[in-house]
Amino acid sequence: MVLSLEARARAAYRYVQRRRKSPPKIRLAARSPVPTVYYFARDYDAPSGGIRTIYRHVDLLNAAGIPAAVLHEKRGFRCGWFANRTRITDVGSTGIGPDDLLVVPETDAALLPNLPAGVRHVVFNQNCHLTWERDANSVTDHYLRSRDLVGIMVVSAHSEEVLRYAFDRPVHRVSQCIDPELFGPPERRNGRVLAYMPRRGQADAEAVLQILRARGVLAHWRVDPVDGVPEQEVARRLRRSTIFLSSTYQEGFGLPAAEAMACGNYVVGFHGFSGREFFDPEFSHPVPTGDLLALARAAEECLLRETAEPGWCFERGLRAAEYIRSTYSPQRERDSVLAFFAEVGFRP
């Protein structure tokens, strides 16, 4: 399903309004017959890398023999912007027993202080920069003192470093996964297409594009704003692009840039801090985060180089794709996730 601009705006508005309201109440249940891992997720049916990762974790836990489900707010809700048969349940019909484990996203930290005593839980912190977004004092107190918080799970070395520095708690980094069946390079180089994702640093990206237009270096290039489409369409369009403009700021991982690399793009732009682990100058062009002039100059350099030497970007894009494929594989994600849950008492 391809969401229109209006539909995406409505979904985003509803999501923000729900985030502003009190979180749903989690119910403590009697001992469960089968200990289960529940990943809480808001009912947000628009492209979101964080929610997609939650669904994937639940799938791989069930495949490994660990009962797991996505815990949504409304009965019957299921994300429809990507194909899935993930096990789903809802807050109203599901209680969390003392042998179960609740996984709470960092974006729903307001849920933490209101959890019933005895609900063992993990914070799945996919972006350390959002940790203190709401009710910062309560969040800090919970991270430091909750007896029911059994661990913190992150997806990047940067988030791990920040949270280890902030809290005296076990922090386990799990590997992010870039699906090689979906995100892979084309067999031959494409034409002159520059892609970017407007929902990440849109103002900066569009300012840089206007600078490049003013300087006349985009005259023979097509600009593709990839936004609000299913992941299959994201992958298809990234395979058709040559250069990807990254304008993210404070990322938990930097999924758009990594997916673009996996599709053979030469990525130029901000790494958002967490992306430093894969923004290798051998096959990408990182610039200081927030420096518009540096970003415009770097993008112009790449555009002119590709024009003068067709295939220059594609050659480096293939190296980037190989790095992403080997470093962020499904097997590495599976092994790291299962290792974390083994540490907190859930084994296949």
AA letter at 219: A
Q: In what order do the strands lie in the sheet with 101-105?
A: 88-90, 68-72, 37-40, 101-105, 121-125, 149-154, 171-173
Look up the pTM and report it: 0.89
Asked if domains 5-177+329-343 and 193-327 share a fold, the reply is: yes
Residue-wise pLDDT tens digits, 233-244: 999 999 999 999
Residue-wise pLDDT tens digits, 197-215: 998 789 999 999 999 999 9
Residue-wise pLDDT tens digits, 73-114: 999 999 998 889 999 999 999 999 999 999 999 999 888 988
Per-residue confidence (pLDDT) for residue 5, from 0 to 100: 45
Q: Which tokens hold the place of 4?
A: 């229109």
User: Does 60 score more than 80 pLDDT?
Assistant: yes
Residue-wise pLDDT tens digits, 148-202: 999 999 999 999 999 999 998 889 999 999 999 999 999 888 789 999 999 878 9
CATH class of 5-177+329-343: alpha beta
Tokens 């990322």 -> residue: 251
The percentage of residues in the chain with a pLDDT greater than 70, rounded to a whole number, is: 94
User: Does 265 score more than 70 pLDDT?
Assistant: yes
Per-residue confidence (pLDDT) for residue 14, from 0 to 100: 54
Domain residue extents for the chain: 5-177+329-343, 193-327
Average of per-residue pLDDT values in the chain: 91
User: Does 270 score more than 50 pLDDT?
Assistant: yes
Residues 13-20 have a mean pLDDT of 51
| Residue 272, phi-psi category: left (phi > 0), alpha (psi -120 to 50), beta (remainder) | left
Task: Give me the phi and psi of 173, to 5 degrees please.
Answer: -90, 125
CA distance 164 to 166: 6
Q: Judge whether 206 and 286 are in contact, CB under 8 Å.
A: no
Rg, Å, the chain Cα set: 21
CATH class of 193-327: alpha beta
Q: Which tokens hold the place of 103?
A: 């996984």
The strand pairing partners of 124, in sequence order, are 105, 153
pLDDT band at 18 (very low <50, low <70, confident <90, very high): low
User: Does 323 score more than 70 pLDDT?
Assistant: yes
Q: What is the 3-state secondary structure (H, E, C) of the chain?
A: CCCCHHHHHHHHHHHHHHHHCCCCCCEECCCCCCCCEEEECCCCCCCCHHHHHHHHHHHHHHHCCCCEEEEECCCCCCCCCCCCCCCEEECCCCEECCCCEEEEEHHHHHHHHHCCCCCCEEEEECCHHHCCCCCHHHHHHHHHHCCCEEEEEECCHHHHHHHHHHCCCCEEECCCCCCCCCCCCCCCCCCCEEEECCCCCHHHHHHHHHHHHHCCCCCCCEEEECCCCCHHHHHHHHHHCCEEEECCCCCCCCHHHHHHHHCCCEEEECCCCHHHHCCCCCCEEECCCCCHHHHHHHHHHHHHHHHHCCCHHHHHHHHHHHHHHHHCCHHHHHHHHHHHHHHCCCCC
Measured from the Cβ of residue 30, the count of other Cβ atoms closer than 10 Å reads 8
Per-residue confidence (pLDDT) for residue 208, from 0 to 100: 97
